[in-house]
Structure 1
Amino acid sequence: MKEAPLFYEEQKFTQWWLWLLLLSPILILGYTLVKPILEDSNQANGNFSFSLVAPIDFWISLVIMLLVLILFILLKLKTTVTQEYIKISFFPLFSKKWNWTDITAAEIVTYSFVGYGIRLSLKYGTVYNIKGNQGLALHLKNGKKIMIGTQNPVELAKILIKKVK
């Protein structure tokens, strides 16, 4: 039987400026495709013709931008803490798990901006962060450091206190 997690959190990218950055190029490309149709002089005579003929590099660019957009829509950072382990899943890319026996220290920290996504930091080691400036800092027995961003630091701190006792 699978044990119930002590803590579970699922985070997504919800920053408005990030979505603006992702959508703007797609909207600009879409406008360049539609612009000739809107400016066609034959439409003034009631003759409407729609042609979506564009160079191949246009379509390649649009497909790449749409794939990146879909990736950001699907991306989720899932954090699970149980009696046995701490597990993260950066869905749909990968998941990692650390047993409590491999962890020498775990604490909630407030940090300055370290970036979003997966980052390397001299101070925190490998950082998995979606948003915010608080996270679970792990120190492993092998010397590695891990930082997992959280939006529920108080709830996670309560679990850590119970786990340490």
Structure 2
Amino acid sequence: MTEGAPLFRETQRFTQPWLWAVLILIAGVAWWGAVQQLYFSVPFGNRPAPDWAMAVITLVFGTLFPLFFAVIHLTVEVRDGGIAYRFFPFHLSFRVIPATDVERLEACTYRPLTEFGGWGIRWGAGGWRAYTTGGDRGVRVYLRNGRKILFGSRDPEGFVAAVRAVQGRRT
């Protein structure tokens, strides 16, 4: 990616209250079961898991799963070279779409559940790929090679304006 400050930068996280309520509920049940079974020696449930399995369940669902959702984030930048994006921890480095590869783009309102089955890195009908963390606003990017990508955004108009500014510099 070229040097210099980005014209547009947005970092998004999973901040939906309902998601965090579910994660906290699952973690709470895992920890409650672990304390009951491992500390107080009272079997958890009608068919309790062995102690080692309860410890693994607590580690995975009580600690690692919520931690995963706490660190996951989507970063999108528009720089002189084009659009750079990273959906950490799935992408350890930025992926770049050169501005010259963008045929057109548009700010939009989309339906995450019906078009893509939810949020995250998703595939949709018609060959779309989506990178979203929440909400229903974004930018549809049509590439010259036929690929179509949707980026979720809290400021889709600013995103589009930044890409158009970069494309204007190159013509």
TM-score bracket for the superposition, by shorter chain length: 0.7 to 0.9
Output the CA distance in 1 between the equivalents of 2:160 and 2:82: 15
CA contact (8 A) 2:27 2:66 kept: no
Output the CA distance in 1 between the equivalents of 2:3 and 2:167: 22
CA contact (8 A) 1:124 1:137 kept: no
Letter of the 2:58 partner, please give it: L
TM-score of the pair, normalised by structure 2: 0.79
- Residue 149 of structure 1 is matched in structure 2 by 152
* 1:76 aligned residue (51, 56, 73): 73
Distance 1:108 1:13, change over 3 A: same
- In the TM superposition, residue 57 of structure 1 has moved relative to its aligned partner by 1.1
Moved more, 81-90 or 123-132: 123-132
Matches within 5 A, 1:8-157: 8-35=9-36, 55-65=51-61, 66-94=63-91, 95-113=94-112, 114=116, 115-123=118-126, 125-157=128-160
Distance 1:154 1:103, change over 3 A: closer
Distance 1:61 1:70, change over 3 A: same
TM-score of the pair, normalised by structure 1: 0.81
Letter of the 1:157 partner, please give it: V
- Output one character per residue of 1:101-142: Cα deviation in whole Å (capped at 9) or x when no partner: 111111111111231111001146110000111111111121
Kindly report the root-mean-square deviation, in angstroms, between the aligned alpha carbons of the 2 structures. Answer: 2.3
- Residue 47 of structure 2 is matched in structure 1 by none
Count matched residues.
Answer: 152
Output the CA distance in 1 between the equivalents of 2:155 and 2:60: 34
Q: Share of identical aligned residues, percent?
A: 27
Letter of the 2:12 partner, please give it: Q
Q: Which runs of 5+ in 2 are unaligned?
A: 43-49
CA contact (8 A) 1:6 1:82 kept: yes
* Larger of the two Rg values belongs to structure: 1
Q: Which runs of 5+ in 1 are unaligned?
A: 41-53
Letter of the 1:102 partner, please give it: D
SS of residue paired to 1:119: strand
- In the TM superposition, residue 75 of structure 1 has moved relative to its aligned partner by 0.7
